[in-house]
Amino acid sequence: MSVSKRAKSALISVFHKDGLEPIVKKLDKLGIVLYSTGGTEKFIKDLGISVVPVEDLTSYPSILGGRVKTLHPKVFGGILSRRENESDLLQLKQYEIPEIDIVIVDLYPFKKTVASGAEEQDIIEKIDIGGISLIRAAAKNFKDVICVSSMDQYKAFSDILSEGNGKISLEQRKVFAAKAFAISSHYDTAIFKYLNQKDIEFRESFNEVSTLRYGENPHQKGYFFGNLDALFNKLHGKELSYNNLLDVDAAVNLMNEFNDENPTFAILKHNNACGLAQRDTILQAYIDALVGDPVSAFGGVLIANKKIDKVTAEEIHKLFCEVVIAPEYDSDALEILKGKKNRIILLQKDIELPKTQFRTALNGVLSQEKDSITDDRSLLKQATELYPSEREIEDLLFASKICKNTKSNTIVLVKDKQLCASGTGQTSRIDALNQSVIKANNFNFDLKGAVMASDAFFPFPDSVEIAGNAGITAVIQPGGSIKDQLSIDYCNDHKMSMVFTGIRHFKH
């Protein structure tokens, strides 16, 4: 079998015509016979280039409103025939079927049509039949045919034509075949996810992939699958690392809790907030967030829910941080932040994030609905004789939002809408509470009048006892322990208020 083959014919049928003209002209210059259909055929003719209509090849017109154009043995026989199989060649001759060496085809924009909110019938019409069949046929027969299945491949294909003067190697055809099947599987996954209503199936597919510098550690390879450009405009800095992306994900999810609220600033390290405050200005919010833990803030990820102005940028610039995220920047603020060449500056766009989460586990995948419940006043159930004051309620709900987005077991301490400290990722709730109290004291926070949030219930009254002794006056927790009454009794005896939400917020 010849490793390289000179192409003699090409079938071109594409939805998107962008970038097609140079390819068509190059094929024509190489003397390659062109076959085409519908709008693509007209496009080629308008370039003054000779093209054979598929209808002339098949002796059948396009029928059923364009649903059937290329689905014919004279088309698929020419693509699927094995060039070194004598029986195949005899049948091609018998039925007057020309060999087709190049297939250039793309698919109807199904995902874009779904995203546009189109009616179901319009969406169904964007389920490609002919295109997907051509892609699979050409990719299957990569030993003899090259399949160009996306406009993103035009440049690489054009280079191949130029370098080989029309000759295409087996290795090149195989690479394009793999890409073709990646596109077809991604397309079918999108259709399945749209149509599937009841079956519990795991089907995820991403066309975009970024190779990261390394994974969690330098000896690990790392990749990101997805389109970051849909979520951020990267304005400055080095490429995001694997660990950066985990922190950015945690930061975005945390700040989503405060999107429509007063200026709020958060500082994260290892996926957890080490500082967070809400104030009348973004500058004061940043200053008070930094006070929460100026040590951990070093090398952290910073995120704001409002525009970052010049005075705030000047303060941020004093800190070594990996990433800064905001929905908007003043031009002079941006210039200041760009003063550190490696600092990553992201402009966050307003898009909806996925509603499901998944991660590998053992020899499979765990999938779940995202924790979409944010504790609010409607969930609060008075558990103690004393009900929290208005200020305490605001702080409790503020603390609960942080708690929901912190690694379990966690305890979060808040006062005046400022994170005083948190105990994160501890194996016991008591350890998390002790960690938070010690940390708050180390950074000179006065916990008298502060509130406490817990991601899960207290099985014993020791937690509220430690909290009370530290100065905590109000508590928010899910409740649900068979020994809830012990914690309630302690709070009643010591003039502490406590509310239950009925919602646990574990995060592992």
The tens digit of pLDDT for each residue in 381-426 reads 999 999 999 999 999 999 999 999 999 999 999 999 999 999 999 9
* DSSP state letters, 53-120: EHHHHHS---BGGGTBSS-SHHHHHHHH--TT-HHHHHHHHHTT-----EEEE----HHHHHHTT--H
Q: Sort strands 209-211 and 167-169 into parallel, antiparallel or unpaired.
A: unpaired
Measured distance CA(8)–CA(59) in Å, rounded: 22
Q: Which position has the higher pLDDT, 454 or 129?
A: 454
Q: Pick the catalytic residue: 26, 143, 186, 270?
A: 270
> Is 208 a residue whose pLDDT tops 50?
yes
pLDDT of 63 reads 74
Q: Which two tokens stand for residue 91?
A: 């049948």
Mean per-residue pLDDT for 242-270?
96
- Predicted confidence at residue 59, as pLDDT, reads 77
Q: Where are the alpha helices (DSSP H) in 317-360?
A: 331-337
Catalytic, 494? Answer no
Average predicted confidence (pLDDT) for the chain: 93
What sign does the CA torsion over 161, 164, 169, 172 have?
A: negative
∠ CA 402-405-407, nearest 5°, is 110
Residue 194 identity: Y
State the pLDDT confidence band at 432, using cuts at 50, 70 and 90.
very high
The sign of the torsion formed by the CA atoms of 197, 201, 206, 210 equals positive
Confirm whether 270 is a catalytic residue: yes
Work out the pLDDT band at 147, boundaries 50, 70, 90. very high
pLDDT at 133 over 60: yes
For residue 292, pLDDT over 50 is answered with: yes
pTM recorded for the entire structure: 0.83
pLDDT mean over 6-25: 91
DSSP class of residue 258 equals G
Set 140, 174, 186, 307: catalytic member: 140
